[in-house]
A and B are shown apart, each in its own frame.
Chain A
């Protein structure tokens, strides 16, 4: 009886080789390998390749790349056109983020309510966020058409004359900002609403007992409690705006008079239209530096936030 039982144990352990716990040592590396390889090949290596190229001159067609040191950067930073591109990018980013967040903040306080009506409005406001930027760009190009566009018609109803939205150098960038804000607001609003809903109710109840006014309630409770969400949105917004490409490529192609040319489009133009690979890479390195700084700020703040909790 006992013998039979013990042979049963041995059988199990011999039949299938007992899986040693130590043999699993390599498994996690195997599991992450495919993902890591993709990252290394398509994201990490290209960054270094780009840095390498930024010190060279190359037109893509000729077989050799000539080392030129910092020349690309020097030319770049002394090129008034590039400085304008930087200025455009910063203006675009600043106003897009500022307007998106401010409007979304107001909207979210207004729309943060229960009921089908509000969820319908929230859905409607959000819908541009999931539409292809191609369609958004073309649609707004048509809406902002100076002669037959919807926007000028609406303005004509209140007696405003036709505005050359996309053809006037002073206005075109602002027009692109309007489009970006229109697209962003829904997303921002929903994120702020989520932030609002995570504010503990008892804070407001306490305030109600103290007869706190609405404005004070906002500045003393709502706004501080929202600040993590707002910070997140600011960073996401900046990262998102800085890499704007689609609307520019489809609507203005950087014009008129370079007034809407931004960093990514500039890199694209130099690399793919003028074949100035080294020069474009140098511009790419500048974008890399900007993104790197933003990312660092973001993770710093994020780790602090985790700390507080």
Chain B
């Protein structure tokens, strides 16, 4: 079936409008980040500043201990990633490949945990952390996410799909369980692990709620919390500085997205696709 030219044109215009709705805000963000404070207060607004003010980025960066925030963000995101691989892989392997007492009950526990959001338990966890003296430390940001119910669930599915024969072949090859897991299962689950890794990294890099709640001073804060605080710098809102800060936060993720679009989309839509 061929559609007529006007219809096709309409379609393309429609697509352009859709892209505009979703891309324009980001362009606006970048545009603002290069303006002077005065230029942000013009109506109708200017899209292209007279002269790009790169200094805004320096100002944003220097308005707080951003190097510290950045390092904290990296430590937290990467730390969570490492912990999760250490805890999720063996658990998923056990759930996929062993029969043991209480297996179903324990897996039920995992599924229940999957449905408990941080927003539900932050208050008691806060009280616990303060009791244990790890409030306002990076540990408080990492340990609660040291494992992932969703990760266990997803990786278990993948492990279950590995043909039984392969594991039997390995057992006959006198392989230890640990070696079966690391040399056969894990390499076969590589796509899932990449997916999980990306999902986790992005989620925790972006996270604002938990670090906001679990930190009381600058020393353990992460980038999103720091950026959110730019707002409170002085009386009025310096939108140019604020947007510059957000560009710093957003650009790395957009770049990753640009290069790994497929993987990231897979990572974030996995649950729905099932």
Nearest opposing residue in chain A for B103, CB measure: A28
Q: How far is the CA of A219 from the CA of B226 in the complex (A)?
A: 49
With known contacts A34-B87, A35-B88, A138–B231 Cβ distance under 8 A? yes
- A288–B120 touching, CB < 8 Å: yes
- A277–B87 touching, CB < 8 Å: no
Does B235 interact with chain A (Cβ within 8 Å)? Answer: no
Instruction: Give residues of chain B (96-148) contacting chain A, Cβ–Cβ below 8 Å.
Output: 98, 100, 103, 106, 109-113, 115-117, 119-128, 143-144, 146-147
Contacts of A264 in B (CB 8 A): 119
**Min CB distance, B130 to chain A, in Å?**
8
A41-72 vs B, CB cutoff 8 Å, 1 = contact: the mask equals 11111110110010000001000000000000
Contacts of B93 in A (CB 8 A): 31
With known contacts A36-B106, A186-B22, A132–B124 Cβ distance under 8 A? no
Contacts of B95 in A (CB 8 A): 32
A262-286 vs B, CB cutoff 8 Å, 1 = contact: the mask equals 0010011001100001001100100
Contacts of B81 in A (CB 8 A): none
- B123–A43 touching, CB < 8 Å: no
B contact residues, total (Cβ < 8 Å):
87
A-B contact pairs, 27 of them (CB 8 A): A24-B177, A27-B94, A28-B103, A30-B90, A35-B90, A35-B110, A36-B106, A39-B147, A46-B128, A50-B121, A50-B123, A124-B22, A127-B254, A131-B254, A135-B249, A150-B28, A186-B22, A195-B272, A239-B115, A239-B117, A250-B228, A268-B122, A272-B213, A277-B123, A281-B123, A284-B124, A287-B120
- A134–B224 touching, CB < 8 Å: yes
Does B68 interact with chain A (Cβ within 8 Å)? Answer: no
Contacts of A130 in B (CB 8 A): 202, 206, 253, 257, 264, 268
Which of A3-11, A75-83, A164-172, A228-236 is the interface stretch?
A228-236
Instruction: Give residues of chain A (129-153) contacting chain B, Cβ–Cβ below 8 Å.
Output: 129-135, 137-140, 142-143, 145, 147-148, 150, 153
- Checking B120, B208, B254, B264 against A284 with a beta-carbon cut-off of 8 angstroms, the contacting residue is B120
- A284–B272 touching, CB < 8 Å: no
Does B184 interact with chain A (Cβ within 8 Å)? Answer: no
Is the contact region of chain B dominated by helix, strand, or loop, or is it mixed? helix
Q: How far is the CA of A29 from the CA of B95 in the complex (A)?
A: 10
- A128–B22 touching, CB < 8 Å: yes
Q: How far is the CA of A140 from the CA of B246 in the complex (A)?
A: 12
Q: How far is the CA of A25 from the CA of B146 in the complex (A)?
A: 26
Nearest opposing residue in chain A for B41, CB measure: A148
Does B40 interact with chain A (Cβ within 8 Å)? Answer: yes
- A281–B124 touching, CB < 8 Å: yes
- A132–B117 touching, CB < 8 Å: no
Does A73 interact with chain B (Cβ within 8 Å)? Answer: no
- B269–A28 touching, CB < 8 Å: no
Which of A91-99, A209-217, A241-249 is the interface stretch?
A241-249
Q: How far is the CA of A87 from the CA of B247 in the complex (A)?
A: 35
Contacts of B21 in A (CB 8 A): 182
**Min CB distance, B80 to chain A, in Å?**
11
Q: How far is the CA of A44 from the CA of B242 in the complex (A)?
A: 39
Does A227 interact with chain B (Cβ within 8 Å)? Answer: no
Does A190 interact with chain B (Cβ within 8 Å)? Answer: yes
Instruction: Give residues of chain B (235-274) contacting chain A, Cβ–Cβ below 8 Å.
Output: 239, 242-243, 246, 249-250, 253-254, 257, 261, 264-265, 268-269, 271-273
With known contacts A34-B91, A135-B227, A291-B120, A229–B209 Cβ distance under 8 A? no
Nearest opposing residue in chain A for B239, CB measure: A142
Q: How far is the CA of A130 from the CA of B199 in the complex (A)?
A: 9
Q: How far is the CA of A271 from the CA of B72 in the complex (A)?
A: 26
- B113–A147 touching, CB < 8 Å: no
- A142–B243 touching, CB < 8 Å: yes
Does A13 interact with chain B (Cβ within 8 Å)? Answer: no
